[in-house]
């Protein structure tokens, strides 16, 4: 059962007042709020189980190791992967860099092509830009059309590339990219595909086997989990071939003066003490999402997108970026209003307890490509309501009249 009023009771922060107004949190693209079940998982771990993982034979270490590996199994099942294909990192940024630094370093040579898109977050743009520069490879950048979608005519850049790294859902345009089709094209051309799922996995069902992607990166804090925890999925056979990312404890099973033998996957990629409490709490976040059902979460957000579009379009001078149809996008809506700076808009909305984002959203190339100013962005999650949109719109109108 998907009941927003009931769901909201699980999120203590939603009871807060900001500047005397009830908090309306519309900055979920940056990070989501956390339900009490996730908060309790962190404190419960420290109160009852705290010990290092994979290192002790004592009870607490056994419990911690079990809980840590159980979280891995939950995350694996959530995306239809095998547990050994799940690497815990500190965020999506680290997951994306991991692929560039290991697979990329080992497989890209001078003259090779690397494909990405103009709508990438800096986390999925700069690692490839840097790798291309270092290896003297060519960075192929797929552009978007006026709808904010990558047209088929750009897909030849995928087939010519050794690796394509593409965002599943844009954090500016909201566009959902046809990653399954892109993966097929990459594979037909003998290349690999990495998907940045940071803005998709919190909001829709994801099945990495069905997508047939080689790598899938995401971040825990946008999907109800704590900060400091990210995930990289990789196909087993690729992870086995790849060199480690960082060296240290736990990633090695035999360390001798003469040389080392690396641990099995996924441990080969998890050097040092991991963010144990965060990973266990990420497991609790996955439980929470499963309980609600990803299809239900998506359906709720599509309704919010449609409703917000209808209302926003009535605002004089507004330009909304990305696809105009709700089913083609996630609940991230970036816009500008003629004569009104997005920073002014965001700070005036804050006076009324409404949290939105303004700026480039760590995606400057798409702003430059579209020749647009830094934008305002509202972004929804499962606890947002149409009632909140009804409060937001007149406030935007009021600020527009006052400032533009």
Residues labelled as active-site residues = 362
Pick 65 or 199: Cβ nearer ligand PLP: 199
* Residues 186, 161 contacting (CB under 8 angstroms): yes
Outline where 205-292 has alpha helix (H).
208-211, 236-241, 276-292
Pick 203 or 268: Cβ nearer ligand PLP: 203
97 binds ligand PLP (CB under 6 A): no
CA–CA separation, 124 and 92 (whole Å): 9
92 binds ligand PLP (CB under 6 A): yes
Shortest approach of ligand PLP to residue 251 CB, angstroms? 21
Q: Tokens at residue 125, please?
A: 């743009």
Shortest approach of ligand PLP to residue 227 CB, angstroms? 8
CA–CA separation, 238 and 241 (whole Å): 5
Shortest approach of ligand PLP to residue 93 CB, angstroms? 3
Q: What is the Cα 248 distance to its own chain's centre? A: 27
3-class secondary structure, 241: helix
List CB contacts of 168: < 8 A, sequence separation 6 or more. Answer: 176, 177, 179, 195, 196, 197, 198, 199, 200, 201, 206
Which one of residues 117, 198, 342, 384 is an interface residue with ligand PLP (CB under 6 A)? 198
In whole angstroms, how far apart are CA 320 and each of 145, 224, 313, 389, 395?
14, 27, 8, 16, 17
CA–CA separation, 301 and 29 (whole Å): 13
200 binds ligand PLP (CB under 6 A): no
165 binds ligand PLP (CB under 6 A): no
Stretch of residues binding ligand PLP (CB under 6 A), selected from 108-116, 192-200, 201-209, 258-266: 192-200
Which one of residues 33, 93, 97, 164 is an interface residue with ligand PLP (CB under 6 A)? 93
Pick 21 or 90: Cβ nearer ligand PLP: 90
Stretch of residues binding ligand PLP (CB under 6 A), selected from 8-16, 45-53, 87-95, 185-193: 87-95
Which one of residues 164, 175, 199, 384 is an interface residue with ligand PLP (CB under 6 A)? 199
65 binds ligand PLP (CB under 6 A): no
91 binds ligand PLP (CB under 6 A): yes
CA count, 13 A, side-chain hemisphere, 73: 6
358 binds ligand PLP (CB under 6 A): no
171 binds ligand PLP (CB under 6 A): yes
For residue 355, the cross-strand partners are: 25
99 binds ligand PLP (CB under 6 A): no
> Which parts of this chain interact with ligand PLP (CB under 6 A)?
91-93, 121, 123-124, 167, 171, 196, 198-199, 219, 362
């Amino acid at each position: 059962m998907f009941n927003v009023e009931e769901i909201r009771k699980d999120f203590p922060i939603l009871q807060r007042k900001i500047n005397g107004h009830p908090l309306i949190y519309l900055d979920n693209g940056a990070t989501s709020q956390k339900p009490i079940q996730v908060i309790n998982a962190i404190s419960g771990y420290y109160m009852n189980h705290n010990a290092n993982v994979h290192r002790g034979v004592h009870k607490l270490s056994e419990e911690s190791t079990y809980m840590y590996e159980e979280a891995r199994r939950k995350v694996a099942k959530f995306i239809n992967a095998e547990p050994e294909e799940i690497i815990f990192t500190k965020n999506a940024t680290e997951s994306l860099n991991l692929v560039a630094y290991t697979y990329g370093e080992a497989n890209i040579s001078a003259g090779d092509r690397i494909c990405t898109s103009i709508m990438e977050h800096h986390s999925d743009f700069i690692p490839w830009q840097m790798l291309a520069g270092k290896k003297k490879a060519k960075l192929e950048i797929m552009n978007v059309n006026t709808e904010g979608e990558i047209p088929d005519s750009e897909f030849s850049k995928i087939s010519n590339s050794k690796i394509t790294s593409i965002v599943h859902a844009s954090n500016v345009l909201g566009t959902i990219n046809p990653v399954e089709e892109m993966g097929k094209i990459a594979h037909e051309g003998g290349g690999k595909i990495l998907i940045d799922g940071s803005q998709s996995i919190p909001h829709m069902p994801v099945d990495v086997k069905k997508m047939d992607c080689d790598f899938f990166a995401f971040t825990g804090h946008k999907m109800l989990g704590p900060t400091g925890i990210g995930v990289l999925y990789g196909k087993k056979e690729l992870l086995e071939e790849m060199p480690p990312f960082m060296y240290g404890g736990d990633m090695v099973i035999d360390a001798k003066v003469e040389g080392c033998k690396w641990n099995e996957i996924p441990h080969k990629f998890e050097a040092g003490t991991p963010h144990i409490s965060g990973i266990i709490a990420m497991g609790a976040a996955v439980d929470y999402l499963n309980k609600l059902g990803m299809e239900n979460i998506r359906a709720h957000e599509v309704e919010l997108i449609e409703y917000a579009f209808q209302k926003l379009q009535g605002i004089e001078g507004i330009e909304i970026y990305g696809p105009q149809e709700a089913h083609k996008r996630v609940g991230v809506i970036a816009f500008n209003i003629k004569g009104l700076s997005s920073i002014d808009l965001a700070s005036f909305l804050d006076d009324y307890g409404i949290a939105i984002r303004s700026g480039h959203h760590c995606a400057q190339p798409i702003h430059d490509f579209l020749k647009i100013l830094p934008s305002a962005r509202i972004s929804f999650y499962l606890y947002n309501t149409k009632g909140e949109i009804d409060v937001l719109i007149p406030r935007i109108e009021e600020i527009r009249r006052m400032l533009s």
